[in-house]
Amino acid sequence: MAIQYLSSINLTTNQLQYAVIQPATTDPTLYTPVEGQIYYNSVSNKLRLYDGALWNDVGAGVTSFAATDGTFINLTPNTTQTGAATLTADLSATGTPSSTVYLRGDNTWSPISAIPGTYVWSIQGGTGGPTNVASGTNITFAGGTNVTTALVGNTLTINATNANITLTGEVTGSGTTSITTTVADGVLDVANFNASAIVTASEGIENNNNDTTLPTSAAVKAYVDASVAGGLIYQGGYDAATNTPNLDSLPTIPGIKRGWTYTVTADGTFFSEVVRVGDVLIAEIDAPTTLADWTTVQNNIDLASLTQVGIGNVNAGTGIDVSYSSGTATVSTQATSYATTISATATITHNLGTRDVIIQLYDTVTYETVYSDNVRTTTNTATITFASTPTNPIRVVVQK
């Protein structure tokens, strides 16, 4: 059983050693022959080549050919030849060729000076012209105002001389322009300066805001109490193991004020909740009596492990996909293979997300493995190319 290659084999200039050309007693007919196909005829003991139309013996040689002269061309020899021959072609023009002659249409070499006609070219200025200039006439490039010209050898140089330019009135322009100017009097006109952004505020003067009236102690206390009511007031550490200071049972509770804040210094239970070192407790009302009257800020949640509940994350692994939505992880298995059937060259989409894939093909009728040109075009597609259309549909299997 022969292995089917449905694409060309490139040996990259390496040798095909100890190879045998297919022997057959007649011209092959299993596949439609293509130009350049060869086989060995075991009856005539000759190598046969298909030229696109017929099978021919290789190395039969040329029997004969005829060589004849063409227009202005002589062939030597110019007779019927048998076997190998050397042909020499040469012009048959009369006269002697040289660098000062040209070949005329009547197959004769003629001097260039004999070419008839008058040759002129035209010159155009910014003003004046155009003017026809005959061959051999000199053209003079003359300088103008603030412009000079100089010819050295074959190089013509045009220069602009130094000159002062006076600009009066409004000046406009385009492109890249560099102009240096001098302010005559150095005076900046600020007459129209807009000072509307300067604002003086005088509202908001409180009662007793003077140098002669003194507030009472009660007024000061009332002002301070109103200012800090509900604000966080740090009270120190809290030992949850020993309930020190007493925060969750009488008689201390009535003395606790809204906003009092404590930091847990030892693990323990606060009301019904387990708290740990670093957690923060904040009283929401005066004299809190339940856990709901407190805000508990968890500050030291442990990282999760196989045996510890805590903060964790789910990562994708080999063959596993993980996606998140609103904090919820969805875990799913990845596709690792793909298969499809094609009948000719095609680009398949496997969506395996990598070029690290194995591509195999087999005939869906004979179930034999076949070979093609396979290119991993992208991480999700591959191009399967056949040098010739396969006889039967081909199954393509892609494995990640």
HEC profile of 108-147: EEEEHHHCCCCCEEEECCCCCCCEEEECCCCCCCCCCCCE
Distances in Å between the Cα of 144 and the Cα atoms of 8, 123, 152, 157, 160 are 74, 18, 19, 14, 9
Distance CA 388, CA 397 (A): 20
Instruction: Answer yes or no: is 264 within a domain.
Output: yes
- Structural domain contains residue 385: yes
Please indicate, yes or no, if residue 346 is contained in any of the structural domains. yes
Q: Going residue by residue through the chain, which has 400 residues, state the pLDDT in tens, using 9 for 90 and above.
A: 578 888 888 888 889 999 999 999 999 988 889 999 999 999 999 999 999 999 999 876 555 677 788 777 887 877 777 666 777 888 888 888 888 888 888 888 888 777 766 667 788 877 777 888 877 678 888 877 788 888 888 888 888 776 566 666 676 666 665 655 554 444 444 444 343 333 333 333 455 556 656 666 777 666 666 665 557 899 999 999 999 999 988 877 888 999 999 999 999 999 989 999 999 999 999 999 999 999 999 876 777 787 776 778 888 887 788 888 887 888 888 789 999 999 999 999 999 999 999 999 999 999 999 999 999 999 999 999 998 899 999 999 999 9
Q: Which of 201, 205, 294, 181 is nearest to 247 (CA)?
A: 294
Domain count, the chain: 3
Total-model pTM:
0.35
Q: Is 347 helix (H, G, I), strand (E, B) or coil?
A: strand
Residues 370, 387: Cα–Cα separation, whole Å:
12
CA proximity to 382, closest of 343, 355, 362: 355
Residue 358 lies in a domain: yes
Q: How far apart are CA 387 and CA 85, in angstroms?
A: 40
Domain boundary among 243, 275, 297: 297
What is the structure's pLDDT at 166? 63
Give dist(CA 75, CA 88) in Å, integer.
6
For residue 216, tell me if it sits in a domain: no
In a domain, 80, yes or no: no
293 is a domain residue: yes
Supply the range of the domain harboring residue 53: 20-63
Q: Which two tokens stand for residue 60?
A: 């039969």
Write down which residue in 8, 39, 63 finishes a domain: 63
Q: What share of the chain is helix, strand, coil (3-state, %, to 5)?
A: 5, 35, 60
Cα–Cα separations (whole angstroms), residue 383 to 10, 170, 334, 373: 18, 68, 22, 8
| Residue 221 DSSP one-character state | H
Examine residue 314 and state whether it is found in any structural domain, yes or no: no
Task: Say what the pLDDT of residue 164 is.
Answer: 63
State the DSSP H helix or E strand holding residue 222, giving kind and residue range, or none if neither.
helix 217-228
Q: Which of these three, 297, 327, 350, is where a domain ends? A: 297
